[in-house]
């Protein structure tokens, strides 16, 4: 899921760029300065399009190149460097919008704006593409609530069956399941890839 458009995955690095990348990999400032001068210019308009605040763009740009420096040993000279650094920039912007989404007002706005999408509870959280997120959310539930959710939603037990297994009342099972489902739905929604794109779209419209 690319927010920068199509990224190069071939090997268009020219001779001079290869030489400078080799220098960067060795930890030389010359190679880093070359990469920064060339790719900050290419990244800037893309990042400005996704993040409208120039001060934030500057911070994210510095973050991108810090990651380039720290991960320079991972540079593969047989592959496109532009594809590699664009991926780093994309992940950096994803991270920024995840932080934005932690704001309570922003969460409320997103839930109101995308209510129809959010309310697709069962189909959404049990989609196979979100199994990992679902499991993460389940593990964060309190022990009893986790048991109830697994029994009723994963194993298909009725409220009464779950109540008998756990020595609880049916009303307790029902209430706990409602709370568990609400938490899991929010967790999956706010951590999914689709949410990041929704967050970006909503933020840019504000």
Q: Alpha-carbon distance 178 to 201, whole Å?
A: 30
Task: Tell me the fold of 15-101.
Answer: Rna Polymerase Sigma Factor; Chain: A (1.10.1740)
Question: What are the tens digits of pLDDT across the range 132-163?
Answer: 888 899 999 999 999 999 999 889 999 999 99
DSSP states along 1-23: --SS-----S----HHHHHHHHH
pLDDT at 87: 93
CATH class of the domain defined by 104-205? mainly alpha
pLDDT at 21: 96
Angle at 97 between CA 96 and CA 101, to 5 degrees: 125
- For residues 100 and 161, the model is more confident at 161
Q: pLDDT at residue 167 above 80?
A: yes
pLDDT averaged over every residue in the chain: 84
Q: Give the pLDDT band of residue 20 (cuts 50, 70, 90).
A: very high
Question: What are the tens digits of pLDDT across the range 21-41?
Answer: 999 999 999 999 999 999 999
Q: How many helices (H) and strands (E) does the chain have?
A: 12, 0
Domain chopping of the chain, boundaries: 15-101, 104-205
pLDDT at 133: 84
Model pTM score: 0.58
Q: Alpha-carbon distance 83 to 62, whole Å?
A: 18
Q: pLDDT at residue 92 above 70?
A: yes
């Amino acid at each position: 899921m690319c927010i920068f458009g199509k990224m190069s995955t071939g090997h268009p690095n020219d001779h001079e760029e290869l030489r400078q990348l080799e220098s960067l990999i060795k930890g030389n400032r010359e190679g880093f300065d070359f990469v920064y001068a060339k790719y900050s210019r290419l990244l800037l308009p893309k990042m400005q399009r996704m993040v409208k605040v120039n001060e934030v763009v500057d911070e994210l740009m510095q973050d991108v190149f810090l990651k380039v420096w720290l991960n320079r040993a991972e540079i593969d000279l047989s592959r496109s460097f532009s594809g590699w650094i664009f991926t780093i920039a994309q992940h950096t912007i994803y991270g920024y919008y995840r932080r934005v989404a932690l704001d309570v007002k922003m969460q409320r706005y997103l839930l109101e704006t995308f209510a129809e999408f959010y309310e697709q509870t069962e189909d959404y959280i049990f989609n196979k593409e979100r199994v990992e997120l679902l499991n993460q959310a389940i593990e964060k539930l309190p022990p009893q609530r986790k048991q109830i959710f697994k029994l009723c939603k994963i194993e298909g037990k009725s409220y009464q069956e779950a109540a008998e297994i756990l020595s609880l009342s049916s009303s307790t099972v029902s209430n706990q399941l409602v709370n568990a489902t609400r938490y899991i739905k929010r967790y999956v929604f706010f951590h999914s890839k689709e949410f990041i794109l929704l967050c970006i779209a909503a933020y840019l419209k504000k």
